[in-house]
Amino acid sequence: MLVCLAAVPAEAAPWLVVSDIHLNPYDRSSAPSARGKDSNWALWESALHAMRAADPNPPVVIAAGDFLAHKFPTLVRQNNGSSTQAAAEDVMRRIESSLASAFPHARIVVTMGNNDDPCGDYRPEHSGSYLDALSRIWHQPMSVGAHYVAPLAAPDRAVVDDDVFWSAFAHVCGTDHGDAAQEQITWLRRTLDATSPSTRDVIVEHEPPGIDAWATLYAYRFLVIPYLHARDDAAYQQLTSANASRIAFVIAGHAHRADFRVLGGVPTIIAPSISPIFKNNPAFLMLDVDARGTLRDYAIIGYDPASATWKPIFDFDRLYNANVVDVASMRAAHDRIGNDPSVRSAWASALVAGSPVGGVSESNWRTAWCAQTEEGRAFDACARLERRLLVIPIVGGLLSLVVLLSIALIISRFVGKPRRDAV
């Protein structure tokens, strides 16, 4: 069980994971951002202070993408910025500087998110001046494809991919990139294959595999929305399954909800967000990683707006009685969520870091729960969306009929209309 918000001996120092900061540099309020807004500097500085209080000397700090505020190019224009790229670089530089200052001895590992390019949302850059700048800012070789390998002590490496290229919504910025998504898959395959079987890796990425439960809920479950394109999701999961023995765990973000999932044969932890824009409370993770690179436990530290304090929200071991975080313990935790209402309630609260809004309810919790382990038709059955499969063809047929009748009506009005000069 992790010790939270107290000094931890150096030999037992946990890792820290932060994601989806979504920093709005133009919000200069002295109070941390309220729910429904992206992060301001006050919230980010408060989060840094809480991270240092939780662990002043972590060996590793992971930042899992989405550093820039939503609709960042629009914000720049509204505030008379002359260059979106210059503004993005400035935000990145200030976040890097603040992390390096707070944790001068940590290995800082970062990946790019879908909001982190000046071109706009889901417009990742394959190569160019912006990635060149980020390579200098973050001190990582990110100039092509934004992927790289960072050496660690245990596990041996952080393998950082930019899976935004695999997103179902991605459109690569620029033209000279070929098949950037396939290139990312090829790089990951070669990287995992190029080491001995004894090598242990942590994969760091922004989007998790499988179903986007929250977008699916926003679509009233009429549509089931995946995070990644089907081709790339399948290729990624084939790679992780084939290399499961050498992958210790996977860290992702993007969902703005703290959760886990077991897809592709490896345990994946989804980090919460600092940004409270989706009515969640801001939060970050502490990971208990032992000297062999085994993930023994993880905890969520969240911000309580009512008391303006950061406090422990969730501990995997405490809730699920597991002395290690792996595929078996995640599956056991998944079963307990499904069968035990009290465990399910604690899980639901942890999803949004204790916020009273923005989470799941008794009527829709299965959507998020089933996404932990299932996708495709298995997800539909688990989430009890079989009726959707029956309704969609009916609705599609009715819409088609309406379109055909409309076309027929238009044709009849013009074809059947007598000419003015007819006798």
Q: Is the pLDDT of residue 84 over 90?
A: yes
Instruction: Please state, in angstroms and rounded to a whole number, the distance separating the CA atoms of residues 354 and 281.
Output: 7
Instruction: Please state, in angstroms and rounded to a whole number, the distance separating the CA atoms of residues 300 and 163.
Output: 24
- The SS3 call for residue 23 is strand
Q: Tell me what the mean pLDDT of segment 211-232 comes to.
A: 91
Q: Which two tokens stand for residue 232?
A: 């790339």
- What percent of the chain has a predicted confidence (pLDDT) above 90? 79
Q: What's the per-residue H, E or C state across 223-269?
A: CCCECECHHHHHHHHHHHHHCHHHEEEEEECCCCCCEEEEECCEEEE
Q: Is the pLDDT of residue 417 over 60?
A: no
- 412: burial class by Cβ within 10 Å (0-12, 13-18, 19+)? exposed
Over residues 137-152, the pLDDT tens digits come to 999 999 999 999 999 9
For 326: left if phi > 0, alpha if psi spans -120 to 50, otherwise beta; the answer is beta
The 157-160 sheet, strands edge to edge: 148-151, 157-160, 201-204, 247-252, 266-270, 259-263
Per-residue confidence (pLDDT) for residue 198, from 0 to 100: 86
- The CB density around residue 219, as the number of other CB atoms within 10 Å, is 12
Q: How confident is the model at residue 398 (pLDDT cuts 50, 70, 90)?
A: very low
Backbone phi, psi, residue 421, to 5°: -95, 10
Give residue 375's identity as a one-letter amino acid code: E
Q: Is the pLDDT of residue 184 over 70?
A: yes
Per-residue confidence (pLDDT) for residue 177, from 0 to 100: 67
Backbone phi, psi, residue 292, to 5°: -95, 0
What is the per-residue DSSP string for 166-180? GBTT---BSSTTSSH
Quote the mean pLDDT of the chain.
89
- The CB density around residue 384, as the number of other CB atoms within 10 Å, is 12
Per-residue confidence (pLDDT) for residue 297, from 0 to 100: 97
Nearest alpha-carbon partner for 204 in 265, 264, 163, 258: 163
| Residue 77 DSSP symbol | H
Which of these ranges, 21-25, 130-134, 404-408, has the smallest mean pLDDT?
404-408
Distance, CA of 13 to chain centre: 25
Q: Are strands 247-252 and 157-160 parallel, antiparallel or unpaired?
A: unpaired
**Dihedral angle over CA of 143, 144, 150, 156, nearest 10:** -170
- The SS3 call for residue 165 is helix
324 Cβ neighbours under 8 A, 6+ residues apart? 294, 295, 296
Per-residue confidence (pLDDT) for residue 176, from 0 to 100: 58
Q: How confident is the model at residue 220 (pLDDT cuts 50, 70, 90)?
A: confident
104 Cβ neighbours under 8 A, 6+ residues apart? none
CA dist list (Å): 176 to 126, 163, 170, 179: 8, 19, 16, 10
Per-residue confidence (pLDDT) for residue 403, from 0 to 100: 57
- In a 13 Å sphere around the CA of 213, the CA atoms on its Cβ side amount to 28
Nearest alpha-carbon partner for 314 in 300, 298, 328: 300
Q: Is the pLDDT of residue 28 over 50?
A: yes
CB 288 within 8 A of CB 295: yes
Over residues 340-357, the pLDDT tens digits come to 999 999 999 999 999 999
CA dist list (Å): 62 to 186, 200, 342: 24, 17, 31
Q: Is the pLDDT of residue 401 over 60?
A: no
Q: Sign of dihedral through CA atoms 178, 184, 190, 194?
A: positive
